[in-house]
Structure 1
């Protein structure tokens, strides 16, 4: 896949889930105002579109944000393996349970009203592993608000700018 390739779109009929072999894929949804929200970021070794196994349509867009490759696993194969292999079924269920916990923690992060405090929490949670713009979409801030908050955090001495678009905690 090349950067910008679309694997599937919201409301498209589901056909399976995916594993990232290399590169990066983000699951995104565009709001009514045109803003993009990143729902999930899958990197090498990660899965995405797990809910497609039990859904008729995809609930978001999957966009390649870093060139690489993915493996598609047909939902019929996943369901058949779940029925015939209890260990696989338990492992898949555990994976989904961990994701529920992660999404609940993400909701808590998004509930932080201060942009500065939300960014600090996101950095501590390991969210800042790409661009400032991508961080902004992951934590539901405009990229302008994200840059302003980062500048404010640097001015406050809580973060240090170490390069263009690169920051670290003080």
Structure 2
């Protein structure tokens, strides 16, 4: 177990950063409440979301083996976050096989999710990409956030959603809410 002295809880407002790209790493993080985007600004100015951390999930896992963070961690809503000190966590991983196995399983699951995301991002058609991403459960927050997660402008994403609804491939269930039609 990680001792309480190696855990540091912080609260953040919407828009605040837990860390910025190139900040020195201090640990990995667990989201108690709220949502954090791991994102990187491209040279074009377009921001790409690489991961969205939600309540009960970890983020910045790769920082255990890096001196600096490789992206920004920005709160997309108010959030409560626990930082697990890097040095203590890596020491525990080396000493506690059960913790190492659980952490390895978590990372393996994340690799599967990232591969799925890469497959979705490789779909050229905005309409097809949007349909696949909705069917995989990626649309769980605002449409603008969803668009960022799947590498589309929010305008292209809204157009694709409208086209999919018009074609009967999606049903709009509320503002910014979409679902696949029931297979009957």
Superposition pairs of residues 4-153 of structure 1, within 5 angstroms: 4-153=15-164
Instruction: Provide the C-alpha distance between the structure 1 equivalents of 2:107 and 2:169, rounded to a whole number of angstroms.
Output: 35
Q: State the shift of 1:160 in Å.
A: 1.9
Q: State the shift of 1:90 in Å.
A: 1.6
Instruction: Provide the C-alpha distance between the structure 2 equivalents of 1:8 and 1:79, rounded to a whole number of angstroms.
Output: 20
Instruction: Provide the C-alpha distance between the structure 1 equivalents of 2:101 and 2:43, rounded to a whole number of angstroms.
Output: 38
With normalisation by structure 1, the TM-score equals: 0.96
| Secondary structure of the structure 2 residue equivalent to 1:153 | helix
Q: State the shift of 1:153 in Å.
A: 0.7
Structure 1 moving runs of 4+ over 6 Å: none
Instruction: Provide the C-alpha distance between the structure 2 equivalents of 1:44 and 1:163, rounded to a whole number of angstroms.
Output: 24
Q: State the shift of 1:166 in Å.
A: 2.0
Instruction: Provide the C-alpha distance between the structure 1 equivalents of 2:56 and 2:15, rounded to a whole number of angstroms.
Output: 20
| Secondary structure of the structure 2 residue equivalent to 1:102 | helix
Structure 1's unaligned 5+ residue stretches are none
Q: How many residues align?
A: 170
| Secondary structure of the structure 1 residue equivalent to 2:138 | coil
Q: Which moved more, 1:152-161 or 1:17-26?
A: 152-161
Partner of 2:14: 3
Instruction: After superposition, give the CA deviation of every residue in 1:137-165 in whole Å (9 maximum; x if it has no partner).
Output: 00000111001111111111111223322
The root-mean-square deviation of aligned C-alpha atoms, in Å, is 1.0
Q: State the shift of 1:15 in Å.
A: 0.6
| Secondary structure of the structure 1 residue equivalent to 2:34 | strand
Instruction: Provide the C-alpha distance between the structure 2 equivalents of 1:154 and 1:15, rounded to a whole number of angstroms.
Output: 45
Structure 2's unaligned 5+ residue stretches are 1-11
Instruction: Provide the C-alpha distance between the structure 2 equivalents of 1:91 and 1:160, rounded to a whole number of angstroms.
Output: 39
Instruction: After superposition, give the CA deviation of every residue in 1:98-134 in whole Å (9 maximum; x if it has no partner).
Output: 1112111110111111111111111111100001100
